[in-house]
């Protein structure tokens, strides 16, 4: 198409018109010259030319483009109707905008979290090798060395662990999130450093100079992005380290948010079978499949058993119950979020469908009003295809407007989500509105436009247009008998809407009940709103100076307990239910030595101070709590959880006085107390058996004395979460040692909320989606009843004139609305039963067919729809019969 010609069509047409006129003139003159009368000459000339308008149209179309033309016509038409019916356009665009916006926002999350490849080069080659105990896949230093030295599948392989590190000597002391890595971890990830280098093989060899790699954020914050930072010294955990590299801004290894990366070092001579406390990452060589790597790891595992010393009796490692496996790294990153995200995506998809049904309904009502309009156009020679095209173009325009609004809403929603930082939503930093998201919004809008545009177009571009035109011209398109048939499509749509809304309501109701059940669960700790927590690292080398470390810890607890309003204070290696900082290992039970072939179970370990159980709010079931004499005397005592006591010795009482230990060469530790079960893995999971060791012990593991020095404090009392209490806590800590940074300052409630985050995230979005579905569905019912009332005004007037009471008339309309709702509810209940099965894994304490949900939600829907019917029905009762009859 020639642009110039296209835009110059109107002048060209005018010129052609002039040319044809001149033709007639010339031809007339000729005819007169041949002896015709002027009148006859002109007629002959016109006859010869034929239909001048046809000629003009043909030339006009030659320069045009049908699609562009009908788009322009539709825009014009639409802008005109918009001006005439702003409410219709507003409701349609808003409904669509909400539907498309919700779908796009959630798609942004799904895209960023599930669909986008991991942000490392060639992410498909990245795997997590390890041994599968429970859910996580863990690595041990000795297995890692075996794999590194004898494996042939990997370009590089390393192990890592998250942690904390305190930095001193740069203004205020500061606790950083640290990532401890061996050589091979950064190499496998493959993201080159911004400046400097990665952790090298020398760096993780004991005895070589200590180094550190900084994150971009920490580099900017502490060193102002100074490129000369390389080579400078930084005091980390009381040791000077040389800065050797800075990672780029985009690098966030495994969502750890680490600010500093430190080498992880192992002394080869001290390693043995076990120590599965690390995570592994490896990059496969090109062409090596996961299956090949798996087969190799299984073989390396057998090599490993033979090459390292065992410190455990029995033969756990050979039992065949421990499986070595390689899994794609993405599975480790994503965990089980996929199910929740797809549930939410399904929910917003349903909302979008309901929105489409609603707009289709509005369009049906309007198409009714346009019967005459279309009839006239067809009568004047417009093609049916053209009218269909125009109608569709208008729907798509509506959809595009809705899409633009939706994209804006999605953008705002994603910004809000990133601001809220829902915990355990992985890859949050990668969630953004980008090109695929915009493409998705565009595709969804156009698809939606086609869906809701085709329904009325198909309905009304039927063959009987001329007959309809006749009828429409005669009685103004208000034939009630015809209306009934036309409303069938509308009614069908309403039933669909109600059904979908019910599905949404039931599923979100089930999740709400789940949330409620989870909150009601006996968690095993006291009200989390009344406990303040924070982490800190006791300085010094605890192994060489255990007394000093114990003294410092004890002093801090005493100072905290002395704060007015504080009832209990204590600390532990980790807070209950905190998803980070977990520790599991095997224990040996006196009199129940593991037989060969039997699988010793890994237990949750927690190292606690006296008073911690009180501060976290866990009750003592039997025996006594630890006291400070146990600690200072390094007595061989231990506590266990109630379920562990029952499992090993049948009852809590029987556990007192029994003995366990960690390694065969270490002394037995006597159980002095039994603690109630704590839902440590999250309230939806059963409470794991827990061993509570004192935070300071002699002869534990392979050390003469062990003192936990990276610890979490719990302070129970009044004023939790206030700045006042926190400043008192800081003063208390700093009065003991003024260079101790406090990290992870949270209320216990925040840690608790974090563990509920997935359920609450899914539930919140589903409830929002369900409310939207309900509102849009109600607008649909309202629309249908209001339209029925407007069509049957005359009938209502006649009925009133013949003696019907207004109340009866209202009931007549409400009843028809109620019938639609009941039909929708029936369909919806069946759908909900199916949807309930789909989300069954995400439910807790509720069956997918929870009776109260299945009774309450349809009732809610019925009540709401009666209200939606009653408002328009009232208008039928208010018809003035005299006026109606007069207008006949």
Q: Tell me whether residue 29 or residue 593 sits nearer to other proteins (CB atom).
A: 29
Q: Which of 7, 8, 40, 58 binds other proteins (CB under 8 A)?
A: 58
CB 684 within 8 A of CB 520: no
Torsion, CA 663, CA 645, CA 689, CA 523, rounded to 10: -150
Which residue in the set 62, 298, 369, 521 belongs to the binding site for other proteins (CB under 8 A)? 62
The first and second tokens of residue 159, run together, are 């192990």
When binding is defined by CB under 8 A, the residue of 9, 36, 44, 63 that contacts other proteins is 63
Q: Which residue has the tokens 């985050």?
A: 757
Residue among 26 and 480 whose Cβ is closer to other proteins: 26
Q: Which residue in this structure is represented by tokens 């806590």?
A: 729
Q: Applying CB under 8 A, which of residues 11, 35, 50, 851 lies at the interface with other proteins?
A: 50
Q: Does 44 bind other proteins (CB under 8 A)?
A: no
CA of 679: how far to CAs of 195, 292, 561, 640, 683, in Å?
45, 39, 26, 14, 5
- The nearest distance, CB 20 to other proteins, in angstroms, is 7
Least gap, CB of 880 to other proteins (angstroms): 59
Closer residue to other proteins (CB): 8 or 704: 8
Contact 744, 534 (CB under 8 A): yes
Three-state SS at 793: helix
Least gap, CB of 6 to other proteins (angstroms)? 12
Question: Which residue from 36, 43, 44, 55 is in contact with other proteins, where contact means CB under 8 A?
Answer: 55
Site for other proteins contains 36 (CB under 8 A): no
CA atoms within 13 A on the CB side of 15: 7
Could you please report the per-residue DSSP string of 304-329? Answer: HHHHS---SSS-TTTSS-SEEEEEEH
Residue 195 in contact with residue 247, Cβ under 8 Å?
Answer: no
Is residue 16 at the binding interface for other proteins, with CB under 8 A as the rule?
Answer: yes
**Does 866 contact other proteins by CB under 8 A?**
no
Phi-psi region at 169: left, alpha or beta (left = phi > 0; alpha = psi -120 to 50): left
Total of chain residues touching other proteins, rule CB under 8 A: 24
Site stretch for other proteins (CB under 8 A), options 53-61, 93-101, 137-145, 742-750: 53-61
Sign of CA pseudo-dihedral 392, 394, 399, 400: positive
d(CA 839, CA 726) in angstroms, rounded, equals: 41
The position carrying tokens 């509570």 is 692
Cβ nearer to other proteins, comparing 13 with 545: 13
Q: Is the alpha carbon torsion for 607, 612, 614, 616 positive or negative?
A: negative
Does the footprint of other proteins cover residue 376 (CB under 8 A)? no
Residue 385 Cβ, how far from other proteins at the closest point, in Å?
A: 22
Tokens at 649, concatenated: 């010795």
* 66 lines the binding site for other proteins (CB under 8 A): no
Contact 160, 182 (CB under 8 A): yes
User: In this complex, which beta carbon is closest to other proteins, that of residue 45 or of residue 365?
Assistant: 45
2 binds other proteins (CB under 8 A): yes
* DSSP string across 53-88: HHHHHHHHHHT--HHHHHHHHHHHHHHHHHHH-HHH
> Does residue 23 interact with other proteins by CB under 8 A?
yes
- Which of 14, 40, 49, 170 is the binder for other proteins (CB under 8 A)? 49
Question: Any contact of residue 120 with other proteins (CB under 8 A)?
Answer: no
Q: Which residues pair with 174 in a beta bridge?
A: 167
Cβ 279 vs Cβ 128: under 8 Å: yes
53 makes contact with other proteins (CB under 8 A): no
Residue 802 near other proteins by CB under 8 A: no
Residue 17 Cβ, how far from other proteins at the closest point, in Å? Answer: 11
Q: Site for other proteins (CB under 8 A): which residue of 6, 7, 14, 18?
A: 18
Return the residue of 5, 201, 268, 805 that touches other proteins, per CB under 8 A: 5
Nearest distance in Å: CB 35, other proteins: 15
Least distance to other proteins, CB of residue 60, Å: 10
Asked if residue 27 binds other proteins (CB under 8 A), the reply is: yes
Q: Taking CB under 8 A as the rule, does residue 19 contact other proteins?
A: yes
**25 scored as a contact of other proteins (CB under 8 A):** yes
Distance CA 143, CA 134 (A): 18
Distance (Å, whole) CA 181 – CA 155: 17
Using CB under 8 A as the criterion, which residues of the chain lie in contact with other proteins when the complex forms? 2, 5, 15-16, 18-20, 22-23, 25-27, 29-30, 48-51, 54-55, 58-59, 62-63
């Amino acid at each position: 198409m020639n642009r110039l010609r296209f835009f110059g069509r109107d002048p060209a047409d005018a010129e052609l018109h002039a040319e044809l006129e001149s033709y007639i003139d010339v031809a007339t003159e000729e005819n007169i010259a041949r002896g015709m009368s002027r009148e006859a000459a002109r007629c002959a000339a016109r006859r010869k030319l034929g239909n001048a308008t046809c000629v003009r149209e043909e030339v006009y179309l030659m320069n045009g483009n049908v699609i562009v033309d009908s788009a322009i016509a539709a825009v014009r038409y639409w802008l005109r109707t918009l001006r005439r019916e702003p409410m219709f356009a507003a409701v349609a665009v808003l409904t669509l905008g909400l539907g498309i916006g919700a779908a796009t926002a959630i798609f942004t999350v799904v895209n960023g979290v599930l669909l986008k490849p991991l942000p490392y080069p060639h992410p498909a080659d990245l795997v997590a090798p390890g041994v599968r105990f429970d859910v996580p896949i863990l690595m041990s230093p000795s297995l890692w060395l075996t794999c590194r030295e004898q494996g042939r599948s990997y370009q590089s392989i390393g192990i890592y662990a998250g942690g904390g590190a305190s930095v001193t000597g740069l203004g205020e002391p500061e606790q950083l999130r640290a990532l401890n890595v061996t050589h091979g971890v950064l190499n496998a990830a493959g993201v080159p450093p911004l400046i400097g280098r990665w952790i090298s093989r020398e760096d993780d060899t004991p005895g070589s100079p200590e180094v550190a790699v900084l994150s971009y954020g920490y580099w900017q914050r502490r060193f102002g992005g100074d490129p000369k930072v390389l080579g400078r010294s930084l005091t980390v955990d009381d040791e000077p380290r040389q800065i050797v590299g800075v990672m780029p801004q985009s690098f966030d290894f495994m969502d750890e948010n680490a600010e500093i990366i430190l080498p992880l070092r192992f002394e080869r001579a001290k390693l043995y079978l076990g120590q599965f406390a690390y995570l592994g990452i490896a990059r496969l060589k090109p062409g090596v499949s996961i299956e090949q790597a798996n087969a190799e790891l299984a073989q390396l595992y057998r090599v490993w058993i033979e090459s390292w010393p065992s410190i455990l009796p029995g033969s756990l490692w050979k039992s065949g119950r421990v499986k070595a496996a390689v899994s794609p790294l993405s599975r480790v990153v994503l965990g089980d979020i996929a199910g929740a995200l797809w549930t939410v995506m399904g929910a917003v998809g349903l909302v979008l469908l309901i929105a489409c049904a609603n707009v289709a309904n509005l369009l049906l009502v309007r198409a009714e009003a346009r019967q005459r309009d279309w009839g006239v156009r067809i009568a004047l020679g417009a093609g049916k295809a053209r009218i269909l095209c125009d109608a569709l173009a208008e729907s798509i325009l509506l959809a595009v407007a809705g899409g633009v609004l939706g994209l804006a809403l999605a953008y705002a929603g994603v910004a809000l989500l990133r601001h809220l930082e829902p915990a355990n939503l992985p890859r949050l930093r990668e969630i953004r509105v980008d090109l695929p998201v915009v493409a998705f919004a565009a595709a969804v809008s156009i698809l939606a436009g086609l869906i809701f545009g085709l329904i009325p177009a198909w309905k009304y571009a039927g063959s009987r247009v001329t007959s309809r035109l006749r009828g429409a011209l005669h009685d103004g398109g208000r034939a009630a008998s015809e209306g009934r048939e036309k409303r069938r499509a509308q009614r069908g749509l309403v039933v669909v809407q109600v059904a979908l809304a019910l599905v949404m309501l039931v599923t979100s109701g089930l999740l709400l009940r789940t949330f409620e059940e989870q909150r009601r669960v006996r968690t095993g700790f006291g009200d989390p709103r009344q406990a303040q927590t924070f982490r800190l690292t006791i300085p010094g080398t605890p192994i060489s100076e255990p007394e000093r470390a114990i003294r410092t810890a004890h002093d801090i607890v005493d100072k905290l307990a002395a704060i007015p309003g504080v009832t209990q204070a204590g600390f532990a290696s980790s807070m209950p239910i905190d998803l980070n900082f977990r520790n599991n290992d095997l224990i040996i039970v006196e009199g129940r030595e593991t037989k060969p072939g039997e699988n010793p179970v890994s237990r949750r370990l927690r190292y606690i101070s006296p008073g911690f159980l009180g501060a976290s709010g866990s009750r003592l079931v039997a025996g006594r709590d630890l006291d400070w004499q146990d600690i200072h005397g390094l007595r061989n005592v231990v506590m266990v959880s109630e379920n562990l006591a029952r499992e090993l010795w049948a009852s809590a009482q029987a556990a007192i006085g029994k003995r366990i230990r960690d390694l065969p060469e270490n002394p037995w530790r006597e159980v002095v107390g039994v603690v109630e079960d704590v839902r440590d893995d999250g309230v939806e999971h059963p409470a794991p058996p827990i061993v509570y060791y004192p935070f300071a012990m002699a002869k534990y593991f392979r050390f003469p004395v062990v003192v936990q020095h990276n610890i979490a404090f719990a302070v129970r009392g009044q004023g939790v979460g206030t700045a006042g209490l926190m400043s008192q806590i800081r003063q208390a800590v700093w009065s003991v040692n003024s260079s101790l940074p406090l990290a992870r300052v949270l209320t216990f409630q925040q840690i608790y909320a974090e563990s509920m985050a997935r359920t609450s995230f899914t539930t919140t979005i589903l409830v929002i989606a369900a409310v939207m579905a309900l509102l849009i569905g109600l607008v649909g019912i309202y629309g249908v009843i209001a339209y029925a009332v407007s069509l049957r005004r005359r009938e209502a007037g006649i009925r009133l004139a013949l003696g019907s009471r207004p109340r009866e008339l209202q009931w007549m309309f409400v009843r028809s609305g109620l019938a639609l709702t009941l039909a929708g509810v029936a369909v919806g209940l069946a759908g909900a039963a199916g949807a309930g099965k789909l989300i069954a894994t995400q439910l807790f304490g509720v069956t997918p067919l929870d009776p109260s949900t299945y009774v309450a939600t349809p009732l809610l829907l019925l009540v709401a729809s009666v209200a939606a019917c009653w408002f328009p029905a009232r208008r039928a009762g208010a018809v003035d019969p005299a006026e109606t009859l007069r207008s006949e």
